[in-house]
Chain A
Amino acid sequence: DAKTTQPPSMDCAEGRAANLPCNHSTISGNEYVYWYRQIHSQGPQYIIHGLKNNETNEMASLIITEDRKSSTLILPHATLRDTAVYYCIVPFTSGTYKYIFGTGTRLKVLA
C-alpha cells in the first residue's frame, strides 16, 4: 500500500518561500499525488495535484522528482494565513479510491 512520509513541523518567515517535502516511494506509475491543507480544525482544503510534470496554480507549485518517489510543495511567498497542516496524499491501495492522509507537516509562518 502506498504511504507518505513528511516532516512533522516546519517554520517559515513571512514573505519567504515555504518548501514542504514528501516521500511517496511506493506510488504507482499512473497515480496522482495530491496536496491539501487544514487550517485550524476546519475541513481540509485542496491545493494542487500532479502526476509527473511540475504543476503551478494560484496557490502553490508542485515539484515531482523524475522517479516520482518524492515531491515538494512550494508556497512562493508565505503569509501568516498559510499557517496550517499540509498533507501529501496518495491512494491507500493502488488503483482504489481510498486516499491516505498521513500526519502531515505543521507549517508555522512567522512574522
Chain B
Amino acid sequence: NAGVTQTPKFRILKIGQSMTLQCTQDMNHNYMYWYRQDPGMGLKLIYYSVGAGITDKGEVPNGYNVSRSTTEDFPLRLELAAPSQTSVYFCASSYSTSVDTQYFGPGTRLTVL
C-alpha cells in the first residue's frame, strides 16, 4: 500500500491564481481530512469528509473548496490564492473516528506571492 499520497510536493502561486491539491489513499478509508500548518504552528482542520459525496467544514474553510466523488480521492481547491494561504497542507485518512488513527500524507508546501 502506498498509504496517503499528495501532489504536488511544492508549488508557488501568484496572487489570484487557482490550483487543486490532490490527495489519494489506497486503504479504503471512509474518512478523509485536509489540514494546513503555518510556520511554527499546529495543524488546523480545513475540511473533512466522512464518505464519498459527504463533506463538511473544519476550523478554517474560507478560501477553499473540496469534493469527494470517490472513496480514494479528496482534492482541495484554492480558487483565488492569497498570501495568507501560504502554508504546508496535509491530507489524512482514517477508517473510523473515535478510536482509530489518522494516516497522514507527506504534505504539500504552497507559497503564494
- A complexed with B: yes
Specify which chain A residues have a CB less than 8 angstroms from the CB of B105 in the assembled complex: 43
Specify which chain A residues have a CB less than 8 angstroms from the CB of B101 in the assembled complex: 34, 46, 49
Which of B35, B42, B50, B107 has the most chain A CB atoms closer than 10 A to its own CB? Answer: B42
Specify which chain A residues have a CB less than 8 angstroms from the CB of B98 in the assembled complex: 30-32
- In the complex, 14 of the A-B residue pairs with CB atoms within 8 angstroms, ordered by the A residue number, are A31-B98, A43-B90, A43-B106, A46-B101, A46-B102, A49-B101, A85-B42, A87-B43, A97-B97, A98-B48, A98-B56, A98-B58, A98-B59, A104-B42
Beta-carbon contact of A101 and B35 below 8 Å: yes
Specify which chain A residues have a CB less than 8 angstroms from the CB of B50 in the assembled complex: 97
Q: B59 contacts which of A41, A43, A92, A103 (Cβ < 8 Å)?
A: A92
What class of interface size applies to chain B in its complex with A?
Answer: 20 to 34
Beta-carbon contact of A92 and B45 below 8 Å: yes
Specify which chain B residues have a CB less than 8 angstroms from the CB of A101 in the assembled complex: 35, 42-45
**Is A102 in the interface zone, CB < 8 Å from B?**
yes
Taking the closest CB of chain B, its distance from the CB of A103, in whole angstroms, is 5
Beta-carbon contact of B104 and A43 below 8 Å: yes
Specify which chain B residues have a CB less than 8 angstroms from the CB of A103 in the assembled complex: 40-42
Beta-carbon contact of A41 and B42 below 8 Å: no
Taking the closest CB of chain B, its distance from the CB of A18, in whole angstroms, is 19
Chain B residues near A (Cβ < 8 Å): 4, 31, 35, 40-45, 48, 50, 56, 58-59, 88, 90, 92, 97-99, 101-102, 104-107, 109
Specify which chain B residues have a CB less than 8 angstroms from the CB of A85 in the assembled complex: 42
**Is A21 in the interface zone, CB < 8 Å from B?**
no
Total of A-B residue pairs, C-beta within 8 Å: 56
Interface size on A, residues (CB 8 A): 23
Q: How far is the CA of A46 from the CA of B100 in the complex (A)?
A: 10
Taking the closest CB of chain A, its distance from the CB of B60, in whole angstroms, is 11
Scoring A residues 63 to 99 as 1 if CB is less than 8 Å from chain B, else 0, what string do you get?
0000000000000000000000101000010000111
Beta-carbon contact of A45 and B45 below 8 Å: no
Q: How far is the CA of A42 from the CA of B31 in the complex (A)?
A: 21
Beta-carbon contact of A44 and B90 below 8 Å: yes
Nearest B residue to A47 via CB reads: B101
Specify which chain B residues have a CB less than 8 angstroms from the CB of A46 in the assembled complex: 101-102
